[in-house]
Amino acid sequence: EAAGRLGVAFEAERVDVPRDSGLGVEATARERRYAALDAMCERHGVAALWVAQHADDQAETVLLQLLRGAGIAGLAAMAPRYRPDGASVERMRPLLRLLRAQLERYAAQRELTWIEDESNGDTRYARNALRLDVLPALAVHFPGFRDALGRAAQHAAAAQRLLDDLAELDFAGAARDDGRALSRDALVAFDDTR
In a domain, 97, yes or no: yes
pTM of the model: 0.87
In a domain, 5, yes or no: no
When the pLDDT of each residue in the chain is averaged and rounded to a whole number, the result is 93
Per-range mean pLDDT, top range of 57-61, 115-119, 179-183: 57-61
- pLDDT above 90 for 179: no
Question: Per residue in 32-67, pLDDT tens?
Answer: 999 999 999 999 999 999 999 999 999 999 999 999
Using CA atoms, how far apart are residues 73 and 79, in angstroms rounded to an integer? 10
Which of helix, strand or coil describes residue 165? Answer: helix
∠123-125-130 over CA atoms, to 5°? 65
Question: Per residue in 136-174, pLDDT tens?
Answer: 999 999 999 999 999 999 999 999 999 999 999 999 999
In a domain, 9, yes or no: no
CATH number of residue 135's parent domain: 3.40.50.620
In a domain, 175, yes or no: yes
The domain in which residue 66 lies consists of 47-189
The type of residue at 178 is: D
- Model confidence at 87, pLDDT cuts 50, 70, 90, reads confident
